[in-house]
Structure 1
Amino acid sequence: MNDTSQHYFSMKHMEHSSLTMYNVDNFTHNITTGDQNTTGCAQIMIPQELFLMLGLISLVENILVVLAIIKNRNLHSPMYYFICCLAVSDMLVSVSNVVETMFMLLTEHGLLVVTPNMLRHLDNVIDIMICSSVVSSLSFLSTIAADRYITIFYALRYHSIMTTQRAVAIIVVVWLASTTSSTLFIVYYRDNAVIACLVTFFGITLVFTAVLYLHMFLLAHVHSRRIMALHKSRRQATSMKGAITLTILLGVFIICWGPFFLHLILILTCPKSPYCNCFFSHFNLFLILIICNSLIDPLIYAYRSQELRKTLKELVCCSWCFVM
């Protein structure tokens, strides 16, 4: 790939990325050329074909999840609406990865000629999609945690508290806020305050969700006795299963996105340290983890929900018969 395309593509070349929002001048040449930096750390090169393959698989998986929720009326509930939005958030990562990788492969092989201005605009669009994905994912994880909390502790009033209209309103607000904030983040990416805001939002949402889960699991046993006394044990078990599912989703999210947010924190605290630069050199691995998060989430949905798993099987079988 020529230097121009290396300069503007965001995900695979973090030193010029508006997604990472910082230009590490002393590290630019080493990352671009793949040479070693002062600490002896080299950038880990990952084949573009691997990015493309993982992106396509996760895209197909999340499309199937969205279609399954739309198709099955038994899944038309606030929690599954929020899960559907989580799948859409994962799709943003998949689509941006596939589009970017395709452009890079076509450019590398001389099949596509693009101008620096076009690459700059593509970079901005991809960055906004990625940023929208992480903001919306965090928001919907917190929303689902709140939904499960209401289901467990306000079971008798749940349907009056979490109505379909309110769920739709929450979804609209989250997407508007995610898109708007992500656009502002990318427009003002040169300001370190942008990174600080993103990292702070990550921390706040994780603490909020963790507190809700901690309260749920500490008091669920006592509350389950009260629910059983009211002959609502089945609903309680279902609600706790949903809470456990979202705990797994949150754990996977932290594992997959954690290194990226640590990367942002190090940009704020030690951008020119050779040890931090060594951590930066593994950026491609962080990207693979982010894509894997989009790939793993649908497997968790299917494993934890028998109804969703059944619908997914029907969709896959129908698609296979159609192809044959």
Structure 2
Amino acid sequence: PNEYMDDNETNSTSEDLSYLGCVQINIPQELFLALGLISLVENILVVMAIFKNRNLHSPMYYFICCLAVSDMLVSVSNVVETIFMLLNDHGLLDVHPGMLRHLDNVIDVMICSSVVSSLSFLCTIAADRYITIFYALRYHSIMTTQRAVAIIVVVWLASITSSTLFIVYHTDNAVIVCLVTFFCITLVFNAVLYLHMFLLAHVHSRRIMAFHKSRRQSTSMKGAITLTILLGVFIICWGPFFLHLILILTCPTSPFCNCFFRNFNLFLILIICNSLIDPLIYAYRSQELRKTLQELVLCSWCFGL
């Protein structure tokens, strides 16, 4: 991602940027490292909690687990890159430029895989909640464990493959167009499903209550609300990055756009914050997951003593 910033930052002179009152926010590398480590620990705990608690062994939580792994990709890539940069800046690491380029490509693939898989799993979770609400009586026959696993495998294979191709052909504007288009399509898909869910859920709740399934309906709607929050946080945190990509296509030489480009590191911080906030949302919205996370933290603390 840094290549997008470097290629466009030089398109305007410093005099133009100063005239526009362009402000560049400097973010210390230590902050990247601290947020990355916190996010990594949080998402590892979420994955461990889902594996540990049998009550969380359901397709929805499998998809949430994959979403946490997607967030872990961002955290790991950020931590590794920041450590290398800090060691290099302090003269503690002498790395060949070729190796740095290879490392940068691997990190870019991880970040790209994260965004593609995150968007895909948000869509998958939305579809799962939709089936739960509107086809409650047939849910277990529609969304079986085998189908959930197959969906997970397909999403990861598609994410890794497409991300590798994106990085290989990163100089082609078609790559940016594909990423932005995918982002917009997934947002529209989620918006349509959630709108339909919230507008018509009360009609289906009456039918489900007639079959004494009111508790299931309540749980399903709670899950839909949780995932609406997740989607909103994703848009807020990743939105500036995708706006950055759109501006690269539409106004790469404009001084106004270059003002926006200069704060690319701020957009990266927002992306890391998304990985940090998601586990807090899972824990806040799910009592079962929150309880398991508390047990894991207490056990870790006891063993640490």
Superposed displacement of residue 40, structure 1: 3.7
Q: State the secondary structure of the residue aligned to 2:24.
A: coil
Asked if 1:103 corresponds to 2:87, the answer is no
Aligned match of 1:15 in 5, 15, 18?
5
1:254-301 per-residue CA deviation (whole Å, 9 max, x = no partner) reads 000000000000000000000000111111111110000000000000
Q: Are residue 176 (structure 1) and residue 157 (structure 2) matched? A: yes
Letter in 2 for 1:109: H
Count of residue pairs brought into register by the alignment: 304
Residues 9, 258 of structure 2: 8 Å contact kept: no
> What does 1:109-120 align with in structure 2 at a 5 Å threshold?
109-120=90-101
2:8 aligns with: 24
Aligned to 1:20: none
Judge conservation of contact 2:237–2:271 (CA < 8 Å) in 1.
Answer: yes
Opposite residue 199 of structure 1, the aligned amino acid is V
1:213 aligned partner: 194
Taking a change above 3 Å as real, the CA distance of residues 236 and 191 of structure 1, as seen in their structure-2 partners, is same
User: Is the Cα contact below 8 Å between 1:27 and 1:37 reproduced in 2?
Assistant: no
1:56 to 21, 33, 37: 37
Query: How far apart in 2 are the matches of 1:170 and 1:205?
Result: 16
Distance 1:105 1:316 in 2: 30
| Residue 124 of structure 1, aligned match among 98, 105, 110 | 105
Which residue of the partner structure matches residue 234 of structure 1?
215
Secondary structure of 2:225 counterpart:
helix
- 1:15/1:28 contact within 8 Å kept: no
How far the C-alpha of 1:25 sits from its partner, in A, is 6.5
Amino acid of the structure 2 residue aligned with 1:318:
C
Corresponding position: 1:254 with 2:209: no
Is 1:83 matched with 2:64? Answer: yes
RMSD: 1.5
Structure 1: distance between partners of 2:67 and 2:222: 18
Alpha carbons 1:36, 1:43 under 8 Å: kept:
no
For residues 42-64 of structure 1, give each alpha carbon's deviation from its aligned partner in whole angstroms, at most 9, with x where no partner exists: 43210000000000000000000
| CA–CA distance in structure 2, aligned partners of residues 129 and 38 of structure 1 | 38
User: Can you give the 5+ residue segments of structure 2 that lack an aligned partner in the other structure?
Assistant: none
Query: What residue ranges of structure 1 are gaps of 5+ in the alignment?
Result: 1-9, 17-22
TM-score by length of 1: 0.91
State the alpha-carbon separation in 2 of the partners of residues 283 and 25 from structure 1: 10
**Cα distance in 1 between the residues matched to 2:9 and 2:92:** 31
Q: Look up the SS of the partner of 1:112 in the other structure.
A: coil
**2: CA distance between counterparts of 1:124 and 1:286?**
19
For 2:57, give the aligned amino acid. H
C-alpha distance 104-37 of structure 1, shift in aligned 2 (>3 A) = farther
Paired AA for residue 202 in structure 1? F
1:14 Cα offset (Å)? 4.6
| C-alpha distance in 2 between matches for 1:186 and 1:37 | 33
Residue in 1 that maps onto 2:74: 93
TM-score norm. by structure 2 comes to 0.97
**Residue aligning to 1:5:** none
Aligned letter for 2:126?
A: A
Question: Aligned with 2:91: secondary structure?
Answer: coil
| Residue in 1 that maps onto 2:270 | 289
